[in-house]
Amino acid sequence: MLTYKDLKAKPKAFLAATSLTVEEFECILPVFQGEYAALFEAGKTRKGKPRQRREGAGVKEKLPTTEDKLLFILVYQKTYPLQTMHGLQFELSQPQTHYWIHLLMPILQKSLTELGMTPERDPQAVADSPLSQEVSPDLLIDGTERRRQRPKESHQQTEAYSGKKKTHTDKNILLANAHSRKVVYLSPTEHGKKHDKKLADEQAIAYPKGATLGKDTGFQGYEPLGVVTLQPKKSRKDTP
């Protein structure tokens, strides 16, 4: 069974599983604990009924500590597995996994928002976001795709089909700070067929003054006003 106590002793595995260091995890933990405690009224069960037994009595939870609950939802967010597969890591059934995901996800979102760690969703707010100017406004932009179920309708299949990935996908544009490595902006979700540059053009992101922007060939021709863009060039091997 995957537990916080065991995993925190393996920093590299912890980072791979959660996208956080142990220190970053422990910064989120107190806020997460407070949000979780506020969800339930003292003296009542999770369903809001008066307790017949003292708190902690009865069947023991498979996620006994708040640390394990936070680990559970962070691993799900990072890896996005099938609920059955995620449950196997924590010795939970699929219905139990479903219950905990839907209970803990809003708590995690509230905690990250309170800590100022959630990315902007308004492209016009990027210019004034503290996340974009942490250390200096050196930003990186990229498109990210994730697989989705094949739509039943033929026209939806065409829209969702990504020729590059050879599968049906959903796509988002991510903007990250090159120094802090934090995500500054997350675009709305689009079908995988849409090109990265077109999606970025439609978002009309407002950049900070003096910003630099690293990009790949998917954003060829994307040149926001007042921003210095940097695009690596492929090396050309000498031909005989």
* pLDDT tens for each residue of 182-199: 899 999 998 888 889 999
CB count, 10 Å around CB of 20? 17
Would you place residue 17 in the very low, low, confident or very high pLDDT band (cuts 50, 70, 90)? very high
pLDDT score at 55: 59
* pLDDT tens for each residue of 52-80: 666 555 556 789 999 999 999 999 999 98
Instruction: Quickly list DSSP for 79-121.
Output: H---HHHHHHHTT--HHHHHHHHHHHHHHHHHHHHHTT-SPBS
Percent above pLDDT 90 for the chain = 63
* pLDDT tens for each residue of 88-146: 999 999 999 999 999 999 999 999 999 888 899 999 999 999 999 888 999 999 998 88
- Say which range, 8-17, 95-104, 153-162, 190-199, has the weakest mean pLDDT: 153-162
pTM: 0.72
Residue 177, strand partner residues: 139
- Say which range, 13-17, 18-22, 161-165, 214-218, has the weakest mean pLDDT: 161-165
pLDDT score at 156: 74
Distance CA(218)–CA(196), nearest Å, equals 6
Q: Which residues contact 52 (CB under 8 A, 6 or more apart)?
A: none
Q: Which residues contact 174 (CB under 8 A, 6 or more apart)?
A: 119, 141, 142, 143, 144, 183, 185, 186, 187
